[in-house]
Structure 1
Amino acid sequence: MKKIIVPVDFSEQSEYAMKVAVSLSKKYGAEIFALHMLELNQAMITSSEGYHPEQMVFLIKLAEKRFDDFLQKPFLKDVKVTPIIKHYKVFSEVNEIAKKHEADLVVMGSHGADGLSEIFIGSNAEKVVRTSDIPVIVVKEEMTDFKIDRFVFACDFELENLSAFARAKQFAKLFNAELNLVYVNTPGDSFLSSADAYKRINKFLHEAKSTDEVSIHNDYTVESGVINYSENNGADAIGIPTHGRRGLAHFFMGSIGEDIANHSKVPVITFKIGDEQ
């Protein structure tokens, strides 16, 4: 792990994310790219009427000053941090910046049960996840010494998840973490008998050339199943697949993937399915 991107909005949660990145930086010698997206009204940027250039300059300078103050925090001492300011919000730029700098990871903050909306307003957090080709860690609480000894990866073991599974295995190997794989079986149309579930899982593991074992956890919902299994097994992080433009919704149906990120007490890492842009 050589390069980490941390979106910063000066909130407490982005500070939590930065502390996780610092912990990783010190362990792996990684450079941190602190990214701030200046929240200027798009009309202020594009319109020639009603706005004065000096107003834009003032707002930009103010953001730059706050950014500089943020990067002077004591916990950032002795860590290489490269600041990046974008003067408008285009969330696919996070992925573009990751590609440009060949980053390995994005670490971003979230307000827990209030949703991913506080730092990236509305559905913008999902937009970052959706467009990111590299893993994204969602952090909600302060973690001064971030480590992953036990890592749970949950998916439905359909073959389209092979690439996300491969990335999750690489992630676990990087952290020298124990990898626990889980399939959550729920009542209703998605229910599988044990025989059918293991048939699907064994086919997946064969294609993945993997000898890993998979646990089948029965629960009322996928969200509760993933979280309950992870808590019962003392997981330090939860991995889930995400499907490019369709975001977290593909495997987890609706907002379940986002709910897992919101309600989990441990960080959630998303891994992109396939190579779609």
Structure 2
Amino acid sequence: MKKILVPIDFSQHSEYALEVAAQIAKQHEAGILILHMIGVADSVLDNSEIAEEQEAKYYLKMAKSKLKEFTKKDYLKEIPVEVIIQNYKDFKEVNQVAQEQNCDLVVMGSHGTSGLSDLFVGSNTEKVVRTSNVPVLVIKQRHPDFKINTMVFASDLEKESIPAFKKASAFARLLSASIEIVYINHAGANFMGFDDVKKRMDSFKKELEEPVEVKFYNYHTVEGGLFNYCFRNDIDLLVIPTHGRKGLAHFVVGSLAENVSNHAKMPVMTIKL
């Protein structure tokens, strides 16, 4: 791991993410790229009127001043830190910056869901999770001693999730953590008996071509099953592959990765298929 991208909005939760990113960076001699996105309207930036030009400069100056203070944290000492300030239209620019700057990981703070309005508007974290081609680690609370010993990769046991698992497995090796795969056998039309689940698990293990525990857990919802499994087994990090669904289908069908990263209190990593 060489570079970690941390989007910052000066909130407490973004500081939680920066502190975790700093711990990972120190462990692996990586650098940190701090990204702050200001929402200045294009009309303000493009207009040559003196008042509007001064307004744009004011926001930029204020952001630079805040970032200067933000980067004085003790936990950032001895870590190479770069800063980018960018005006945003929507949060898929985070993915663009991550790829242009060759970042290996995005670490982002989130306060989680804020009620029914969040279903329609979506949080910034959701937007990043949905569009990022780089793995996203979502942090909900402070971790002064961030240590991952156990990881769970949530899988539907389909072949298309194998590349995402290989990325998760590489991250587990990087952190010297154990990793296992869990399939949530949820109530409804897709519920399977033990023999059918076992056959599917064995078939998936053959495709993996590496030794790993594949387990299943019965629960009435996938999201609830993942939470319960992780809680009962003292799991430190939940990894979920995401399709990055966009548009109307996202609101009708929903996205497990976005739902879980919104509601889970534990750290969640999403990896795009």
Do these two structures clear the TM 0.5 threshold for a shared fold by scoring above it?
yes
Output one character per residue of 1:111-170: Cα deviation in whole Å (capped at 9) or x when no partner.
03437x99xx73432221222222100001000111110001111111111111111111
* SS in structure 1 at match of 2:162: helix
Contact 1:135–1:270 at 8 Å: present in 2 too?
A: yes
Q: What aligned pairs does 1:95-114 form with structure 2 within 5 A after superposition?
A: 95-114=95-114
Instruction: Name the aligned partner's letter for residue 243 of structure 1.
Output: H
Instruction: Name the aligned partner's letter for residue 18 of structure 1.
Output: L
Q: Which moved more, 1:86-95 or 1:154-163?
A: 86-95
Q: Following the alignment from structure 2 to structure 1, what is the Cα–Cα distance between the partners of residues 61 and 48?
A: 20
Instruction: Name the aligned partner's letter for residue 258 of structure 1.
Output: E
Q: Following the alignment from structure 1 to structure 2, what is the Cα–Cα distance between the partners of residues 213 and 78?
A: 38
Kindly report the root-mean-square deviation, in angstroms, between the aligned alpha carbons of the 2 structures. Answer: 2.3
Contact 2:6–2:18 at 8 Å: present in 1 too?
A: yes
Output one character per residue of 1:241-272: Cα deviation in whole Å (capped at 9) or x when no partner.
0113449x88xx51443332233231000011
Instruction: Name the aligned partner's letter for residue 79 of structure 1.
Output: I
Q: What aligned pairs does 1:234-273 form with structure 2 within 5 A after superposition?
A: 234-246=234-246, 253-273=253-273
Q: Following the alignment from structure 1 to structure 2, what is the Cα–Cα distance between the partners of residues 138 and 171?
A: 15
Q: Following the alignment from structure 1 to structure 2, what is the Cα–Cα distance between the partners of residues 49 and 189?
A: 62
Give the match for residue 204 of structure 1: 204
Q: Does 1:30 align with 2:26?
A: no
User: Alignment identity in percent?
Assistant: 45
Contact 1:44–1:51 at 8 Å: present in 2 too?
A: no
Contact 1:223–1:257 at 8 Å: present in 2 too?
A: no
Q: Which moved more, 1:168-177 or 1:40-49?
A: 40-49
Q: Following the alignment from structure 2 to structure 1, what is the Cα–Cα distance between the partners of residues 264 and 108?
A: 15
Q: How far is the alpha carbon of 1:54 from its aligned partner?
A: 1.5
Contact 1:42–1:88 at 8 Å: present in 2 too?
A: no
Unmatched tracts of structure 1, length 5 or more: none
Relative to the length of structure 2, the TM-score reads 0.90
Contact 1:5–1:35 at 8 Å: present in 2 too?
A: yes
Q: How far is the alpha carbon of 1:31 from its aligned partner?
A: 0.1
Instruction: Name the aligned partner's letter for residue 100 of structure 1.
Output: E
* SS in structure 2 at match of 1:79: coil
Give the match for residue 65 of structure 2: 65
Q: Following the alignment from structure 2 to structure 1, what is the Cα–Cα distance between the partners of residues 168 and 124?
A: 24
Give the 3 Å change call, closer, same or farther, for CA 89–68 of structure 1 in structure 2: farther
Q: How far is the alpha carbon of 1:193 from its aligned partner?
A: 1.5
Contact 1:34–1:84 at 8 Å: present in 2 too?
A: yes
Give the 3 Å change call, closer, same or farther, for CA 177–54 of structure 1 in structure 2: same
* SS in structure 2 at match of 1:114: coil
* SS in structure 2 at match of 1:112: coil
Q: How far is the alpha carbon of 1:62 from its aligned partner?
A: 1.2
Q: Which moved more, 1:123-132 or 1:77-86?
A: 123-132
Instruction: Name the aligned partner's letter for residue 128 of structure 1.
Output: V
Contact 2:5–2:32 at 8 Å: present in 1 too?
A: yes
Contact 1:112–1:263 at 8 Å: present in 2 too?
A: yes
Q: Following the alignment from structure 2 to structure 1, what is the Cα–Cα distance between the partners of residues 156 and 51?
A: 52
* SS in structure 1 at match of 2:184: strand
Instruction: Name the aligned partner's letter for residue 36 of structure 1.
Output: H
Q: How far is the alpha carbon of 1:41 from its aligned partner?
A: 2.5
Aligned length: 267
Instruction: Name the aligned partner's letter for residue 244 of structure 2.
Output: G
